[in-house]
């Protein structure tokens, strides 16, 4: 789960990480009121889950109330690389003397949190890593020992930060690590981390990704969901407890098991088709869940054909067939379906489909044949 | 021969009194696995169709001599259950539970890595099947028979798909190992490749990977240096967009890291044949074994 910048900053503030004061707003009037509250000059920042906001005109400085109103007017409703701006964050402008970069990532390969610090802040860190890797100080932390003060000093000296701010930057890194562990984050990133004219350190941006699997322990974070930024079908699927990812093609896909569904997308693509979604109906699907999944797939207007690819283990093919028959009774699809059932109770499943004689449902024996058929029908 | 589990496996099931736990424990016993006990705190002294239930792993190990654990408890209790099994002296822990918090997995992996001789398989995996010997987990055993192909995979159903195609071509399996779809698997491709390389029954290894992380790239390096047996690989997720979790918590392309194309390239660069579809994987395997 990715947080918006201001949600990240509020999370940082709970862990005593210094951030500029500010307030969120969803209307121009609220934005102006927020600007009055934080004082001028202030910055109006688009809150969307995509990078490159500054370049797209989504971050504007306002010297007075009039400029704050203009900025909020321009930014609210703006489209930034496909994301509509529904919310802005208005914060006090900062006096920036230097821009640094700090982050902690969940390094799955090393099986340790990786802390990074660089004096090359305010730019794309992947680019810095490529052109000047020595400019990024890195350190892996033993998760059972935690982040120690000497770790912070080592990173600060390795990165070459000015001697007078080694202590405050070290303190900020410590708190960032505390937040990373306490909130069960997969990523916390501050870019830029600034040093102000009067030598204060402050997180000027916040990028936070939380572990979805830990949200049951963090009800406040779980409530931060940002439905306006989510795709409508993805939102619908989430409400129904389905694992669904929207893609940009026209062939709806349903399978059981994440690996098999990924593989199905690939086989369809190899056959020349474009998948419209990833949908894992999971292990042991019952008929009702299959019906519910069909509704989600067909809610995407781009879908012109649907492929069911089931290899039954715990999932029984006859249950899947019942779900499909039930879906045809309730949803009455107008697009063709291709169904491949293999594994547990596959014969029973195919018999049920044959008896039901659903309109425009084609049964294929193998995954490859089913993919070829659905590509043909979707065209 | 087989790897990880066999006729000497003595299994204790954590969460045996739950619906799924009961179903699969009995299923595993029916296959021939020695299921010697279960653990459910507060239900010690009861039994599940003759399988004794204990309050703690310590009691279960003391009374039954168990050497293997299967974890079937909900995600919020799973890390604790794994640590309890390890503390009680269990040496092979197979965690089926999906959805364990990543930071829990990190702490568990760090602690277990410091305990020599201990192995965790999973979490978020279908388990291990050694056809004709033992089944621990949820792999539908009826599709597989004894044979010389070792299979290691991050996915469940995809493994059944590939295994079934091999079976239709007449091949069986030494062992089928699901290492799971989470970011921090207890056992990696490299660990299992090493075991299959040492296993005299295994003549060919099928490795089924997917997007996310660099486990396949590392496996490629390991294969070049240490594996003399032929390896056929499959990678799922060529069509996956970056930044989206594709069902498995570990199946995510981060920036430009963890793409299927990079993994397939890394494997092919080390001489591993990579099938583009599950059917092609089975075909390549048959070709090598001289079906």
Tell me: pLDDT of A227 over 70: no
Residues A208, A260 within the same domain: no
pLDDT for A281 equals: 86
The model's pLDDT over A318-360, given as tens digits with 9 standing for 90+, comes to 999 999 999 999 888 999 999 999 988 899 999 999 999 998 9
With a cut of 80, say whether residue A285 has pLDDT above it.
no
Any idea how long chain B is?
A: 291
Measured between alpha carbons, how far is A79 from A83 in angstroms, rounded to an integer?
Answer: 5
> Which B-chain residues 124-183 have CB contacts (< 8 A) with chain A?
126, 138-140, 143, 153-161, 164, 181, 183
Inform me whether the pLDDT recorded for A90 exceeds 80.
yes
CA-CA distance, A15 to A177, in Å (whole number)?
10
- Cβ-Cβ contacts under 8 Å between A and B: the total is 165
- Structural domain boundaries, residue A345: 230-378
Instruction: State how many domains chain A has.
Output: 3
Q: Residue A179 sits in a domain of what CATH number?
A: 3.30.470.20
Domain with residue A324: its CATH number is 3.40.50.261
pLDDT of res. A51 = 80
Q: What is the mean pLDDT of residues B70-87?
A: 97
**B106 shares contact with chain A (CB less than 8 Å):** yes
Does the pLDDT at position B291 exceed 60? no
What residues of chain B lie within 8 A of the CB of A260, using their CB?
155, 157-158, 161
Q: E strand or H helix at B204, and its extent?
A: strand B204-210
Query: pLDDT tens for residues A158-178?
Result: 999 999 999 999 999 999 999
- Structure confidence at residue A282 as a pLDDT band (50, 70, 90): confident
Task: Decide if A140 touches B, using CB distance below 8 A.
Answer: no
Q: Identify whether residues A72 and A121 lie together within a single domain.
A: no
On the CB side of B200, CA atoms within 13 Å amount to 1
pLDDT value, residue A26: 94
- Of A48-57, A63-72, A137-146, B142-151, the least confident: A48-57
Chain B residues with beta carbon closer than 8 angstroms to that of A267? 277
Phi-psi region of A111 (alpha: psi -120 to 50; beta: other; left: phi over 0): left
User: Active site includes A189?
Assistant: yes
CB neighbours of B224 closer than 8 A, spacing ≥ 6? Answer: B270, B271
Is there a single domain that holds both residue A170 and residue A239?
Answer: no
Does residue A169 sit in the same domain as residue A79? no
Strands A251-255 and A305-312: what pairing?
parallel
Domains of chain B: 10-121 (3.40.50.720), 144-289 (3.40.50.261)
What interface predicted TM-score (ipTM) does this complex get?
0.93
Based on the fold, state whether residues A239 and A359 are members of the same structural domain.
Answer: yes
**A156 and A262 co-located in one domain:** no
- Shared domain for A63 and A190, answered yes or no, is no
User: pTM (2 decimals)?
Assistant: 0.93
Whether residue B248 lies in the annotated active site: yes
């Amino acid at each position: 789960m990715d947080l918006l910048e201001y949600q990240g900053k509020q999370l940082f503030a709970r862990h005593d990480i210094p951030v500029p004061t500010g307030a969120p707003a969803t209307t121009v009037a609220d934005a102006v009121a927020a600007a009055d509250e934080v004082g001028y000059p202030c910055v109006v920042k688009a809150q969307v889950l995509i990078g490159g906001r500054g370049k797209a005109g989504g971050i504007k400085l306002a010297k007075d109330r009039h400029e704050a109103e203009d900025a909020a007017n321009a930014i609210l409703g703006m489209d930034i690389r496909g994301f509509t701006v529904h919310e802005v964050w208005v914060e006090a402008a900062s006096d920036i003397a230097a821009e640094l970069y700090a982050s902690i990532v969940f390094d799955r390969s090393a099986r340790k949190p990786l802390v990074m610090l660089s004096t090359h802040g305010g730019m794309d860190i992947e680019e810095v890593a490529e052109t000047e890797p020595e400019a990024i100080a890195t350190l892996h932390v033993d998760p059972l020992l935690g982040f120690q003060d000497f770790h912070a000093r080592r990173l600060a000296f390795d990165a070459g930060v000015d001697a007078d701010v080694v202590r405050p930057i070290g303190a900020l890194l410590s708190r960032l690590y505390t937040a990373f562990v306490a909130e069960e984050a997969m990523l916390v990133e501050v870019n830029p981390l600034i040093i102000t004219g009067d030598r204060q350190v402050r997180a000027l941006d916040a990028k936070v990704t939380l572990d979805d699997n830990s949200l049951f322990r963090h009800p406040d974070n779980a409530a931060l969901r940002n439905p306006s930024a989510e795709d409508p079908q993805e939102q619908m699927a989430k409400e129904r407890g389905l694992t669904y990812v929207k893609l940009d093609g026209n062939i709806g896909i349903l399978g059981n098991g994440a690996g098999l569904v990924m593989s199905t997308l690939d086989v369809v693509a190899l056959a020349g088709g474009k998948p419209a979604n990833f949908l894992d109906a999971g292990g042991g699907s019952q008929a009702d869940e299959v019906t519910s999944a069909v509704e989600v797939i067909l809610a995407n207007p781009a879908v012109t054909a649907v492929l069911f690819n089931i290899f039954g283990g715990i999932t029984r093919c006859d249950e899947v067939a019942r779900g499909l028959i039930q879906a045809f009774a309730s949803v009455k699809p107008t697009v063709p379906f291709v169904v491949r059932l293999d594994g547990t109770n596959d014969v029973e499943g195919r018999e049920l489909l044959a008896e039901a004689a659903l309109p425009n449902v084609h049964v294929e024996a193998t995954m490859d044949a089913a993919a070829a058929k659905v590509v043909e029908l979707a065209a | 021969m087989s790897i990880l589990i066999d006729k000497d496996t003595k299994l204790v099931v954590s969460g045996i009194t739950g619906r799924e736990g009961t179903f699969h424990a009995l299923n595993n016993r029916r296959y021939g696995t020695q299921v010697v006990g279960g653990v459910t705190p507060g239900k010690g002294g009861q039994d599940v169709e003759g399988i004794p239930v204990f309050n703690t792993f310590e009691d279960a190990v003391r009374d039954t001599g168990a050497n293997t654990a299967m974890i079937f408890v909900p995600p919020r209790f799973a890390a604790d259950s794994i640590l309890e099994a390890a503390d009680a002296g269990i040496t092979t822990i197979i965690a089926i539970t999906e959805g364990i918090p990543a930071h829990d997995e990190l702490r568990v992996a760090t602690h277990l890595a410091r305990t020599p001789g201990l192995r965790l398989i999973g979490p978020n995996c279908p388990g291990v099947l050694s056809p004709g010997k033992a089944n621990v987990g949820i792999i539908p055993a009826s599709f597989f028979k004894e044979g010389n192909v070792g299979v290691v995979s991050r996915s469940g159903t995809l493994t059944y798909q590939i295994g079934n195609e091999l079976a239709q071509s007449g091949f069986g399996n030494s062992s089928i190992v699901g290492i799971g779809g989470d970011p921090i698997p207890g056992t990696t491709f490299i660990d299992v490749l090493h075991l299959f390389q040492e296993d005299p029954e295994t003549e060919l290894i099928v490795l089924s990977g997917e997007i996310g992380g660099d486990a396949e790239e590392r496996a490629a390096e390991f294969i070049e240096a240490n594996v003399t047996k032929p390896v056929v690989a499959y990678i799922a997720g060529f069509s996956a967009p970056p930044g989206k979790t594709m069902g498995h918590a570990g199946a995510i392309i981060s920036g430009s890291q963890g793409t299927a194309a990079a993994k397939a390239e890394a494997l092919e660069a080390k001489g591993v044949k990579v099938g583009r579809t599950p059917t092609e994987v089975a075909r390549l395997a048959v070709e090598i074994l001289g079906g």
